[in-house]
Amino acid sequence: MKIREMFKEKTVFSFEVFPPKKTSSIDTVYQMLEELEGLTPDFISVTFSAGGSGNSGLALDIASKIREDNKVEPVLHLPCINYSKEEILHVLSELDKRGIENILALRGDINPDIPPKNEFRYASDLISFIKERGDYDIAGACYPEVHIEAKDMVEDIRNLKKKVDAGVDHLITQLFFDNEAFYKFREKTQIAGIEVPIEAGIMPVMSKSQIERMVSMCGASLPSKFVKIMQRYEHNPEALRDAGIAYAIDQIVDLLANGVDGIHLYTMNNPYVAKKIAGAVQNLF
């Protein structure tokens, strides 16, 4: 089933997982997926190596397992900056063989150690390329607090409109901790004529180092309420984890009350956190 059809029927709830590092076994992800059984997300997205190697094969295997064993629709992340058109066609062929029709089309992070192939400079280039080659459901990424490479919000929204016009069916936001930032962003997209569904990306905090790393990468702001939680519990890992779960649940409840199209939970491959959050909000969808 194509994800775009789900948004016509309900408020969507989804998870994100990622393949293990090279030093870990793929069985760790399979075990996590088994623990997630019964939570019934609408779809599960799987991250994919942006470097043209690494976890790409594992990502395809995990996506297949999600579809075949978990009976949940998978969405494969597909970054393009370090891939050629021939390599993207190979991935699309693999998706067709496995019956996977949902893609999150991304430019991907630029790695200074890997020269980009420049056959796709932007996500919009990849989206157009995919649209010409099959009836895939295509999700795109968006940034409530502006992409770190964009000059300002106006430029960022203009670039987002290009992606949507190229064929994006729905959007998933980068993580954020201030719901007001999301509401302001949503209003700006409506003014710009962006009418596709927007899922809010929520990441529960599990450690201070994790959040500092993610904020430096995506530029998310930290509300004073959130900062106080980190300061209060930063030396108590279990307390910080549970406070992070509570904060994420509070975010989700508020977003649902304000008519969000969907919630995309960055699980960090942690079934305990995913189950706690899903259990708390499952009756709200």
Considering 5, 16, 73, 94, which one is annotated as catalytic? 16
**What is the end-to-end Cα distance of the chain in Å, rounded?**
19
User: In 10 A of CB 190, how many CB atoms?
Assistant: 11
Q: Nearest Cα to 44, choosing from 271, 258, 205?
A: 271
The contacts of residue 229 (CB under 8 Å, 6+ apart) are 205, 240, 243, 244, 247
3-state class of 170 per DSSP? strand
Measured N-to-C along each axis, helices 27-36 and 56-68 cross at an angle, to the nearest 10 degrees, of 30
User: What DSSP designation does 284 have?
Assistant: G
Residue recorded with tokens 């609408």: 42
What SS3 state is found at 115? coil
* 37 is annotated as an active-site residue: no
Q: How distant is the alpha carbon of residue 128 from its chain centre?
A: 20
- What are the structure tokens assigned to 201, written together? 């990306």
Rounded CA separation 76/60 (Å): 8
Which structure tokens are listed for 110?
């630029």
Catalytic positions: 16
